[in-house]
Amino acid sequence: LEIEPIVEWAALSDKMATKDMSHPLANGMEIYTKIEVDLSEDAPEGAEFFLAATRDGVFTVDGLSSSYASSDVLRGERIEFENREPRSEGAVTIRASGRGLGRIFIYKADRTSTPGHSMVGKVSSGMDLVKLAEPGQKLAVKVRPERIMLMGLALKVAEKIVEDRDIGFEIEGYTGDDAVVVEQMPVTTMQIIKEGKVKVTTIPANRMVAIELYDDLAPKSLDYFRHVVGLKEKPVGPLPVYFVYENTVLFKPTISATSYKEILPENKPTEIVRAGEIGVTNQAARNAGLVGVKLVDDPKYGPSGEKFLATNIVGRILDLEKLRDVKEEETVYVLEVR
């Protein structure tokens, strides 16, 4: 008869997580550098949601308990419930309803299944790193399969990607040398792999506008802006032109924003609005949520045509010349430069 001790993780007192690459190492140390996640074929929408949340190669830890680490990167975004399974250690789930909608969880301990959580994947390596994590830290993550996101890419680059992954390719739209991809169908990586093909919509590069967003100056306004343009989960989003007048271009996003009850004043201009700055009308004016851009400097009115007190500046257009000839009812696609 042989007896062996079972060492619980909580009993390991000498443990730490650090981003200090110069931290001295000692014999016997175990080092964990990343987590690896295998996505579920039974949750294509949820898998894509997780891929979007980790598109920079990191899982941001915003919440922590004895049983899970959670991320709020896409909190508030709607996600379909697809797959109910027990929340065993390593399970990756997304809150699909109720409080905390869109929050992503990685479970450190076994829990029963619940209709509020959709199971989208499983940590296959690196659970020790999850258990060491603290709020505010970012964990390097490798996800399988890799995301197939062609939107925002030059057509030639997109063709090479699908060719390398043995995926069928269909093009609808412009096919010139400067063509760029603005839509793909299916949208999700798991469905593309399952069907073995993808159809893309393309436009000339001069109809895709690069933008820089001011996360440090207008975080709450950008939460709204990225939502209505679709930039939370995709690199490119549509902005339909609503009205053009006197060096001002107004856009009216089509994505519903019912969850955004108000747009509080934030990063208001003071002396002048520069050409190319992107403005969102805040709740101080009737047309809250309207998006606009000025083609010239303006010392009196904001990009969305409102006075400064009703204007939130959220970013700027990097190639403003592309907007000088846009027409009403045309759709401009914006690419966030990250």
- Give the separation between CA 174 and CA 201, rounded to whole angstroms: 8
User: How is 190-239 classified by DSSP, letter by letter?
Assistant: HHHHHHTEEEEEEEEGGGEEEEEE-TTT-HHHHHHHHHHHTTTT-SEEEE
- Domain-ending residue, one of 144, 166, 194: 144
Cβ contacts of residue 121 below 8 Å, gap of 6+? 37, 38, 39, 40, 43, 47, 50, 91, 92, 143
Shared domain for 58 and 116, answered yes or no, is: yes
**Which residue do the tokens 């959580």 mark?**
117
- Domain-ending residue, one of 206, 229, 247: 206
- pLDDT at position 9 is 52
Please report whether residue 109 resides in a domain: yes
The domain containing residue 275 runs over which residues?
Answer: 207-336
Shared domain for 75 and 26, answered yes or no, is: yes
CA-CA distances (angstroms) from residue 264 to 24, 217, 256, 280, 314? 47, 13, 18, 10, 13
Please report whether residue 128 resides in a domain: yes
Give the pLDDT means over successive 10-residue stretches in the chain (338 positions). Answer: 60 68 82 93 98 97 96 94 94 95 96 92 95 94 98 97 97 97 98 98 96 97 95 96 94 80 92 97 92 97 95 97 94 94
Q: What three-state secondary structure class fits 51?
A: helix
Shared domain for 140 and 191, answered yes or no, is: no
Please report whether residue 3 resides in a domain: no
H-helix segments, 230-307: none
- Longest alpha-carbon distance in the chain: 89
Of the candidates 291, 281, 171, the one whose C-alpha atom is nearest the C-alpha of residue 243 is 291
Question: Which CATH number do you get for residue 255?
Answer: 2.40.100.10
Shared domain for 179 and 243, answered yes or no, is: no
- pLDDT at position 67 is 95
Shared domain for 106 and 214, answered yes or no, is: no
CA-CA distances (angstroms) from residue 172 to 134, 179, 184, 202, 240? 46, 11, 10, 6, 20
Please report whether residue 181 resides in a domain: yes
Shared domain for 24 and 133, answered yes or no, is: yes
What is the model's pTM? 0.90
Shared domain for 17 and 138, answered yes or no, is: yes
Say how many domains are in the chain.
3
Beta bridge partners of 238: 333
Shared domain for 212 and 202, answered yes or no, is: no
Cis omega (within 30 of 0) on the bond before 238?
Answer: no
Shared domain for 183 and 265, answered yes or no, is: no
- Give the separation between CA 100 and CA 202, rounded to whole angstroms: 36
Please report whether residue 1 resides in a domain: no
Shared domain for 227 and 167, answered yes or no, is: no
- Give the separation between CA 128 and CA 126, rounded to whole angstroms: 5
Please report whether residue 79 resides in a domain: yes
- pLDDT at position 254 is 84
Please report whether residue 236 resides in a domain: yes
CA-CA distances (angstroms) from residue 112 to 47, 116, 277, 305, 316? 21, 12, 49, 53, 47
Cis omega (within 30 of 0) on the bond before 186?
Answer: yes
Q: For residue 160, give the H/E element and its range.
A: helix 155-164
Please report whether residue 4 resides in a domain: no
Q: What three-state secondary structure class fits 150?
A: coil
Shared domain for 163 and 100, answered yes or no, is: no
Shared domain for 182 and 300, answered yes or no, is: no
**Which residue do the tokens 């007192």 mark?**
13
- Domain-ending residue, one of 164, 181, 206: 206
